[in-house]
Structure 1
């Protein structure tokens, strides 16, 4: 439709924005102001903390229980800081840049990554199922729930479980999955419930770990931990690239599969996500969730609004996510190093979830034993909370977007799929818990996340290069995405070789 400005006829305002293949064009509307989205008069520091920060906390809650609580302490406990710590730092930096690029697409279109990938040749019939399979194969095993079940068993009984009691551990793990169901079911808005839960969990966990580490860990070990994070050095003798790859993959989240946790920027209302809708909880009112995203015209007002949204995104990811991930990795690893030094023992894959609590309990009494068990259970539960919900959310988002028939059956209410599917998934994960030890399950998941780094950065390059001009990445952003492919891809190749051949391709 043509517009008239000062008596002159201007070009018609577009109503569609074609992007990629096999999916309908994006709708077109103006970017909202952040104040409109968050219902505040102005966005200051208080408002950023109170309303804007959130999606990064969900991602941080996931990350702390994988690399930070299991794989990092396991590697440092056996091999020390130097030669291991720099892998943590490089991984966290690369992953945060990658998260920005995933979220850039969400913020510019309101489409979550699993849906956006369907716009990449050869189309959604390949990319949507492939992405779901890659994601599910990495995270369906439930290693975090199993680890939390170990800690919960010890909390209840006051001792570690015996080999013939493993089934009780698994039942407790399944019970924790049911708690996740209740948290989401009782919510008015699922993402907000997860944010608030992680505000409490992550805040309490980091506070307790800071107090414990300051109280008992010598400053020499603190210095070794910090030095290890910033000192490039050859990996320790005897460590394999697969072990380092597990650490790299689950430092700061899940390397190439980080996109699975970026859906929450849509539900939070970042950018065009505000125009698309969100998944409401069972207690909330039915909300419209558009199956196709929306984007914006390149106008002065929209360029200004985009810059504002992009600054808020960087605050959420670099300050909260990156900063929290580095602190969350440092504290458990220096605590583990201290425990190994004072006890003369090293953790095994079987006892990593409870090793620190057991050893510190022997040194400082039952109070410390129970405190660290509680920390371990909450850490691993926060991770399983985010992962389990993401398994359900990504499948729901994908099915809702690509299937008009399903939308008709659901009467455009994705909750009618989301909650029944969550119950089905509890049964599936309950069966997967029987496959291996928690740390083994998590290491498999981490290396499968590295597999995702071989292709998804290229998918993002395709999508983001076709966004409206103000939202497109700068050239050096593409360089960072290629570095993600090279760094995490190296570790996946080693993992795949060791899995097939039975011995490490690279051993340092």
Structure 2
């Protein structure tokens, strides 16, 4: 187990602590919950198909996209740009910075305060240090997320059991399975942000699933991994390798695939559903206690403030610590993944770069991480943290218009034991329809009128 924990650390973040609670706090569970459930199911199937390619070839998805006609010169640079454009906003660090400010000062930061942004930059520096001090970066992220995700889910469960009444638990669970129209007043753009960042990042989930290579799943064991500055140098193959179809390899593939299914459905899916249910229950209870509804400006600290007013300063600080952990784990995975995707893409497509770094991808990885840190530090000054996250979530849905079809093409060419069954292609098509609709609506809303209103 492990790669799904890195994905889950990202997953339990903006959708679960910001967008999901914001929607539930304003509109309730019914009509919103089923969007969460459908999104989580479709994304888990999609993740399995991405990981299938990585396991069978040892190539990360961004490198694999270069095998789709007309070739890497179009799809690899475009894919890197989409990932960076979607996630460079840094809304998670900015939101976590608000929580750190409240922890330090014991009060919610005033609107437009600069100090929360400085704390956000400090958290980005901490991410750099975590990767720099690692021997093997994927392993360091895995261990960090085992610690953070376990602490987050256990603490959320304990607080929910203590403060949330049973009728609200039932309302939240029932909302997942009540397939009715969304509540009046909510926009399809808000629902699209919720769908995009429930679980992971809808059509852009592939950007983090390259960790199956570094973990050594299947043919990833042959391809290498990115080591930290404390680790020994590890070269990465510029091109993947696959396996011949014989009895031995069929058996080995089935074992790896079973492990993948446990990792994705037993860890990622279950964790994603709990990660959305538990914070939204707290938000619903906070709304009832305070008599107010959250806004984009105060949602990062709304739950802590409401529970603190009712139960005392200790609960206020516990809520803040939880919020910071949730958002930091997300920013940790996203920040590192942007650097990782760019490094993999550059390493695979540029023989000149491979010669320049003498086969050591760290010589590109860390300078690019510092560059990205500086850019994000500027971007987080441009808008409210939650507005930045909503932008990123809807940009994630753009990936659903492109990458399901790439997976259909690539996975159909894998060795026969690794190829998907026909119904897997149907699920990829449903990803295109569900998340793609929300992105098209987002663009229509951005330039004029949304496709649908409730």
* TM-score normalised per structure 2: 0.99
| Correspondence for 2:52 | 104
1:276-315 mapped onto 2 (5 Å cutoff): 276-315=223-262
1:43-192 mapped onto 2 (5 Å cutoff): 53-164=1-112, 166-192=113-139
Instruction: Name the CA distance, whole Å, in 2 between partners of 1:91 and 1:404.
Output: 39
How many correspondences in the alignment?
Answer: 454
Q: Which of 355, 364, 372 in structure 2 is aligned with 1:425?
A: 372
| Correspondence for 2:203 | 256
Q: CA deviation at 1:178?
A: 0.4
In the TM superposition, what whole-angstrom CA distance separates every residue of 1:295-354 from its partner, at most 9, and x where no partner exists? Answer: 000000000000000000000000100000000000000110111112110000001100
Q: CA deviation at 1:137?
A: 1.1
In the TM superposition, what whole-angstrom CA distance separates every residue of 1:105-147 from its partner, at most 9, and x where no partner exists? Answer: 0000000000000000010000001111111111000000000
Answer yes or no: is 1:412 the counterpart of 2:359. Answer: yes
- SS of the residue corresponding to residue 12 of structure 2 reads helix
Instruction: Name the CA distance, whole Å, in 2 between partners of 1:155 and 1:110.
Output: 43
Instruction: Name the CA distance, whole Å, in 2 between partners of 1:86 and 1:104.
Output: 27
| Correspondence for 2:169 | 222
Which 4+ stretches in 1 moved above 2 angstroms? Answer: none
Instruction: Name the CA distance, whole Å, in 1 between partners of 2:71 and 2:38.
Output: 33
Q: CA deviation at 1:504?
A: 3.0
In the TM superposition, what whole-angstrom CA distance separates every residue of 1:336-387 from its partner, at most 9, and x where no partner exists? Answer: 0111112110000001100000111111110001000000000000000000
Q: CA deviation at 1:438?
A: 0.9
Answer yes or no: is 1:196 the counterpart of 2:143. Answer: yes
Answer yes or no: is 1:466 the counterpart of 2:413. Answer: yes
Instruction: Name the CA distance, whole Å, in 2 between partners of 1:66 and 1:319.
Output: 22
Instruction: Name the CA distance, whole Å, in 2 between partners of 1:260 and 1:66.
Output: 17
Instruction: Name the CA distance, whole Å, in 2 between partners of 1:288 and 1:227.
Output: 50
Q: CA deviation at 1:167?
A: 1.4
| Correspondence for 1:437 | 384
In the TM superposition, what whole-angstrom CA distance separates every residue of 1:481-502 from its partner, at most 9, and x where no partner exists? Answer: 000000001111111011111x
In the TM superposition, what whole-angstrom CA distance separates every residue of 1:3-57 from its partner, at most 9, and x where no partner exists? Answer: xxxxxxxxxxxxxxxxxxxxxxxxxxxxxxxxxxxxxxxxxxxxxxxxxx11000
| Correspondence for 2:274 | 327
- SS of the residue corresponding to residue 158 of structure 2 reads helix
Instruction: Name the CA distance, whole Å, in 1 between partners of 2:285 and 2:111.
Output: 28
Q: CA deviation at 1:163?
A: 2.5
| Correspondence for 2:452 | 506
Instruction: Name the CA distance, whole Å, in 2 between partners of 1:392 and 1:455.
Output: 22
| Correspondence for 1:483 | 430
In the TM superposition, what whole-angstrom CA distance separates every residue of 1:234-291 from its partner, at most 9, and x where no partner exists? Answer: 1101111111000000000000000001010000000000000000010000012111
In the TM superposition, what whole-angstrom CA distance separates every residue of 1:89-111 from its partner, at most 9, and x where no partner exists? Answer: 00000000000000000000000
- SS of the residue corresponding to residue 453 of structure 1 reads helix
Instruction: Name the CA distance, whole Å, in 1 between partners of 2:42 and 2:382.
Output: 31
Q: CA deviation at 1:454?
A: 0.4
In the TM superposition, what whole-angstrom CA distance separates every residue of 1:177-204 from its partner, at most 9, and x where no partner exists? Answer: 0000000001000000000000000000
Instruction: Name the CA distance, whole Å, in 2 between partners of 1:487 and 1:163.
Output: 36
Q: CA deviation at 1:505?
A: 2.7
Instruction: Name the CA distance, whole Å, in 2 between partners of 1:62 and 1:425.
Output: 18
In the TM superposition, what whole-angstrom CA distance separates every residue of 1:393-449 from its partner, at most 9, and x where no partner exists? Answer: 000000001000000000000011111111111000001101211111111001001
Q: Which runs of 5+ in 1 are unaligned?
A: 1-52
Q: CA deviation at 1:160?
A: 1.1
| Correspondence for 1:270 | 217
- SS of the residue corresponding to residue 401 of structure 2 reads coil
In the TM superposition, what whole-angstrom CA distance separates every residue of 1:222-242 from its partner, at most 9, and x where no partner exists? Answer: 000000011111110111111
Instruction: Name the CA distance, whole Å, in 1 between partners of 2:202 and 2:14.
Output: 12
| Correspondence for 1:447 | 394
Q: What is the CA RMSD across the aligned residues, in angstroms?
A: 0.7
